[in-house]
């Protein structure tokens, strides 16, 4: 079914499902047994995996208009995109922000030695593992950014400059009656199509690398957290995603 609809339609459907999962996560955080929480964690993570699986198929179909310039998100969200999605390092900022807020709200409990169980209760061992993971993700994110920059620079490589020069020469030399210049111009334009297709293949590779890092970062963070902490982290992630999308769309609507 996902293959029969546009990615924009899939995204809207996926967001509705994320909102439903948010409701379940909040309910579980208020009080639920471990078996229920574990089952919910599995479904939520599968939901994220499904998103990137479908997105990967659409990257092959339409990297530029469909993924790097999405029409289904707000202009505000678009301004903060990194290669068609969220920066992987943002997950760590989210984790520490939520941890700090929960720590502030339950400081008295911690002072009295009571375990909160949520993100305010990160152990020193967890913090070390998260810090190590963050350093690795920062490095990978930088490498992918640099790889993207190199692909962007190829738009002005010698072959592209030569093709643009030849196309200009033949266009300016072409008369209304057609002739040899028309044929040569067609050949140049065909070469240009092939060159652009090769460059788009490079972009697809970089976008897929970025998506793989996004999903892997999420999985690695989840793997460090306890079950209760996972619930609170995924609540924070869903709340941030859903509300920013909602606020961004309203902002766009108000400015029309």
pLDDT at 165 over 90: no
More confident call, 170 vs 144? 144
Q: What is the pLDDT of residue 256?
A: 79
Residue holding tokens 């092959």? Answer: 60
pLDDT at 146 over 60: yes
Q: What is the pLDDT of residue 98?
A: 95
Query: What pTM did the predictor assign?
Result: 0.87
Over the stretch 28-42, which tens digit does the pLDDT of each residue have? 998 878 999 999 999
CA separation for the pair 111, 74 (Å, rounded) = 43
pLDDT bucket at 228, cuts 50 / 70 / 90 = very high
Question: Mean pLDDT over residues 162-170, rounded?
Answer: 83
Over the stretch 47-93, which tens digit does the pLDDT of each residue have? 999 999 999 988 888 766 667 878 889 999 999 999 999 999 999 99
Question: Mean pLDDT over residues 228-253, rounded?
Answer: 96
Q: What is the pLDDT of residue 108?
A: 64
Over the stretch 125-138, which tens digit does the pLDDT of each residue have? 999 999 999 999 99
CA dist 169 → 78, 154, 166 (Å): 38, 22, 5
Closest CA to 226 of 94, 96, 30, 38: 38
Q: Average per-residue pLDDT in the chain?
A: 88
Q: What is the DSSP string of 45-97?
A: HHHHHHHHHHHHHHHHH-HIIIIIS-SSS-HHHHHT-SSSS--TTHHHHHHHH
């Amino acid at each position: 079914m996902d293959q029969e609809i546009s990615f924009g339609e899939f995204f809207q459907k996926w967001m509705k499902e994320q909102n439903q999962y948010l409701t379940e996560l909040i309910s579980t955080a208020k009080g639920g047994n471990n078996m229920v929480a574990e089952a919910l964690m599995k479904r939520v993570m599968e939901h994220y995996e499904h998103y990137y699986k479908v997105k990967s198929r659409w990257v092959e179909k339409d990297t530029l208009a469909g993924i790097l310039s999405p029409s289904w998100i707000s202009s505000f969200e678009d301004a903060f995109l990194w290669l068609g999605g969220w920066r992987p390092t943002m997950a760590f900022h989210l984790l520490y922000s939520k941890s700090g807020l929960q720590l502030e709200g339950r400081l008295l409990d911690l002072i009295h030695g009571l375990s909160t169980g949520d993100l305010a209760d990160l152990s020193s061992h967890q913090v070390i593992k998260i810090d190590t993971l963050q350093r690795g993700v920062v490095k990978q994110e930088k490498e992918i950014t640099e790889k993207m920059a190199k692909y962007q620079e190829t738009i002005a490589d010698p072959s592209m400059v030569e093709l643009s020069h030849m196309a200009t020469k033949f266009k300016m030399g072409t008369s209304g009656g057609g002739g040899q210049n028309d044929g040569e111009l067609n050949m140049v334009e065909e070469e240009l199509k092939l060159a652009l297709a090769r460059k788009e293949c490079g972009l697809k590779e970089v976008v897929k690398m970025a998506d793989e890092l996004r999903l892997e970062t999420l999985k690695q963070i989840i793997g460090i957290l306890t079950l209760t902490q996972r619930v609170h982290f995924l609540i924070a992630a869903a709340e941030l995603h859903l509300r920013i999308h909602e606020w961004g769309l309203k902002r766009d609507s108000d400015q029309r």
